[in-house]
Amino acid sequence: MKSALTRTRVARGTAGLVVIAVLASGCGGSKSDADKVKTTVSNFFADAGNNKGPAACALLTDAAQQELISAASVLKAPSSCAEAIATFNKILSSDDKKSLTSTNVKKVTITGGTATVADTDIQLKAGGEVGLFRNRSPKPLTLEKVGGEWKISSLG
């Protein structure tokens, strides 16, 4: 039979583990919206560079998917967003693909449920050099909060 002292130690140990678990679950806290936007943009470029069309397209709103399909139709008429990613992947060099996977977002502007990222705030690494992402439009990348998650709504 366990002594009262042993039961007390077990109870304290169990209580201690519960406290540690509760504290640990709060450590690091939840990400800020700006961090979530940065992650969405970086993941989109990485997934696109790795030809993971379904994953990349899941980070886009329906409107942005249609925008991507339309842009890819200049090269080939894709039937889906994932096919558009594959179409672009065919013309990217291995260095271009690698640089997309190294995307770093420097600054995000959030107003309510909309976020913007200027192309000058997107850095890519290529061949040991850090450069800025430049799209052909002066419009920024735009994101919307959809169902609690940030999704790219316009590619600029």
Q: Residue 22: is its pLDDT beyond 50?
A: no
Q: Which pLDDT score is estimated for 9?
A: 38
pTM more than 0.85: no
Residues 63-122: pLDDT tens digits? 999 999 998 888 887 889 999 999 989 988 888 888 888 889 999 999 999 999 998 888
CA–CA distance from 151 to each of 8, 33, 144 (Å)?
A: 51, 12, 6
Confidence band for 55, pLDDT divided at 50, 70 and 90: very high
Tokens of 139: 């419009």
Percent of the chain whose pLDDT exceeds 90: 45
Residue pair 64/72 in contact (Cβ under 8 Å)? The answer is no
Q: How confident is the prediction for the chain on average, in pLDDT?
A: 78
Give the per-residue pLDDT at 140.
Answer: 87
